[in-house]
Amino acid sequence: MPRTFRFPLVAAAALAATLACAGKPTVNFAYDHAASFQGLKTYAWFDDPNFQMPGGNSIVDGQFVDKRVRAAVEKELGKQGYAKSESGEADIYVSYSTNPAGVVSQDKFGRYAWWSPTYVGGTKYRKEGSLVLDIRDKSHKLVWRGFKQAILGTNPEALGRDIDDAVDDLLSKFPPKEATS
């Protein structure tokens, strides 16, 4: 390969790798290492006095987000073998919060054809948001928290899939593997 083509190819590969990593969602969790996660079978929703209905936007309202998060949590916990307590007494209590964290902008760039120069053509704005899931023990003490931040979908179906993915990613970390081994 001629030397004049090597540098642009290496630079393009480095840029592509950087951009690929820039859009990845952030998933974090933490837990109380003194808490026992053994023998948990039932869950209920924690009636948090500080709960705020998620904010909506021009396409979906907060009730859409609330129903979707609750349905996704119940589905994932059910897959893990937890039963929802109808009496209100449970081994663990679940709550959540959301936050429209802001706007991410990305410059659009590329080429029209192989012979044309690279162009930068404007900025694309995407909304970013976060979901926090909290798990409390029988005494309502916080024992586990998961957090995911990602770019949000722009229509109800995409936002619903984003919520399902976030809940799935977060609850895949519960119970913590280190605590149950």
DSSP labels for 112-143? SSTTSPPEEEEEEEEEEEEEEEEEE-TT--EE
* pTM greater than 0.75: no
pLDDT in tens, 121-163: 555 556 778 899 999 999 999 999 999 988 887 788 988 999 9
Q: Which amino acid, residue 94? A: V
Structural domains in the chain plus CATH codes: 26-180 (3.30.160.670)
> What b/e sequence results for 48-70 when a residue is b if at least 16 CB atoms lie within 10 Å of its CB, and e otherwise?
eeeeeebeeeeebeeebbbebbe
Residue whose pair of structure tokens reads 């902008």 in the numeric block: 105
